[in-house]
Amino acid sequence: MKLIIAVIKPSRLDAVLDAVTGAGASGLTVTEVRGYGRQRGKTEVYRGAEYEVKLLPKVKLEIAVPSDIVEAVIEAITLSANTNKIGDGKIFVLDLERTLRIRTGEENDAAIAG
């Protein structure tokens, strides 16, 4: 089992949700976050005044998946989140030691299956 964490542009959320569902992910968690990478923020103009936005709005997805569909989910995220512009995001993949569905007591792959 793996935990895939993806940080993407908010404008790409709907496309990514459709893509990861199509790749076999049965559930995910979405969090609105702010941050920066190489982009280091940006300068904007509001009512004639220029100001710097250091932390840009992003969306963080957390998706627990069985090991056999990890590559399909990563590819789905990559293709659907890509705009070929700076700030498209990052994907992190971590090992999951144990997963438990609270309601039924199912564990591991059974707990994350649809």
Nearest to 31 by CA among 2, 53, 10, 56: 10
User: Using CA atoms, how far apart are residues 10 and 16, in angstroms rounded to an integer?
Assistant: 10
- Residue-range domains of the chain with CATH: 2-112 (3.30.70.120)
Which backbone phi and psi does 106 adopt, to 5 degrees?
Answer: -60, 145
What are 47-90's pLDDT values in tens digits?
788 777 788 899 999 999 999 999 999 999 999 999 999 889 99
For 92, which DSSP code? E
The mean predicted confidence, pLDDT, of the chain is 92
Nearest to 63 by CA among 31, 38, 37: 31
What's the confidence (pLDDT) of residue 37?
A: 83
pTM exceeding the 0.75 threshold for the entire prediction: yes
Q: Which residue has the higher pLDDT, 17 or 40?
A: 17
What are 68-80's pLDDT values in tens digits?
999 999 999 999 9
